[in-house]
Amino acid sequence: MEEKARILYVEDDLTLSYVTRDNLEIKGYAVDHCEDGIIALQKINTGTYDLCILDVMLPRMDGFTLAGEIRKNNTEIPILFLTARSSKEDRISGFKLGGDDYITKPYNIEELVLKIEVFLKRRKIIPEIPTRTATIRLGQFTFDPDNQKLLAGQTVCYLTRKENELLSFLATHPDQIIKREEILRKVWGSDHFFASRSLDVFISRLRKILAFDSRIRIENVHNTGYRLKTGL
C-alpha cells in the first residue's frame, strides 16, 4: 500500500480547519493540524512532512515568520500560504521568505487539492542519473560523445560542445535524411534565422574534421536537410 503524503496544516480558525482537514483526509492525505506557529515549528523540526499549508495570520508566530524558520533547515518542502490578505506586497513578502504559492480566503477545497497535487507530483520527480553514452564507430573514427572527441588511429580531435551535439544527433540517425528544422530544434532549441545560419557554419566545420575518412560525409539534401553517410 502506498504511504500517504503527510501535510502540516497550520490554521487558528477551528471551524475552517476542521472542514479543510476533513476534506484532505477524505482525499487520502495524512494531516497534522496546529493552531499556532510555535507548535507547528516544533512539529516540523521533529517530524517528516511532504508539504506545509500555513495561514498567514497566526497567534504567537505568524505564517511568514514560520516559513522563514522552516526554510532555515528545509529548502525543499513546498509551502502554501492561506491568507485573507491578497495585496501584491504580501505575496512578494511570502515568496521572498520561501513560499511556493498562495490561496486567498475564502478558498475552494478543490482548488486547494489541485495545488497540493501539483506540488507533490513535482517532489516525486527524481533526476535521472547520467549514464555513459557508448562510443560510436564511424568508418575510421571512434566517436566518444561523453568526452567530446573523435579518434582516428593515434589522432585525437576534440570537438566543441555544439560540434559534439550536432554530430551526436547526426550519428544516432546514420544514413537517414534529417530535416533542418528538426536539427535546429534539437540542437539549438530554435529554428530562427540566426540558428539556421549557425547550423550551416557547424556543418562546414564538421565536414572538415570528417574529411580524414572519405566514406564519412555530411550530404546536403536539397530543400530538406542533411544526411550523415557512413559508407555502409
What is 91-155 written as a DSSP string?
Answer: HHHHHHTT--EEEESS--HHHHHHHHHHHHHHHTPPPPPP-PPPPEEETTEEEEGGGTEEEETTE
**pTM above the 0.85 mark?**
no
Q: 3-state DSSP call for residue 169? A: helix
Q: 3-state DSSP call for residue 218? A: strand
Residue of 27, 16, 87 whose CA lies nearest to 51: 27
pLDDT digits (tens, 9 = 90+) for 145-178: 988 899 988 888 988 878 888 999 999 889 999 9
Give strand ranges (E) for the chain.
6-10, 30-34, 51-55, 79-83, 101-104, 136-138, 141-144, 149-152, 155-158, 177-179, 217-221, 225-229
Q: Residue 1 has what pLDDT?
A: 46
Q: At 97, which amino acid appears?
A: L
Edge-to-edge strand list for the sheet holding 79-83: 30-34, 6-10, 51-55, 79-83, 101-104
- Say which residue the cell 475552517 belongs to: 16
Asked if residue 142 lies in contact with residue 159, where contact means CB atoms within 8 angstroms, the answer is no
Q: Residue 184 has what pLDDT?
A: 87
As beta bridge partners, residue 102 has 81
Residue of 89, 73, 92, 23 whose CA lies nearest to 53: 23
pLDDT digits (tens, 9 = 90+) for 95-138: 777 677 888 888 889 989 988 988 888 766 444 444 566 788 88
Strand 141-144 to 225-229 pairing? unpaired
**Would you place residue 76 in the very low, low, confident or very high pLDDT band (cuts 50, 70, 90)?**
confident
CA distances from 91 to 25, 94, 184 (A): 28, 5, 39
Strand 51-55 to 6-10 pairing? parallel
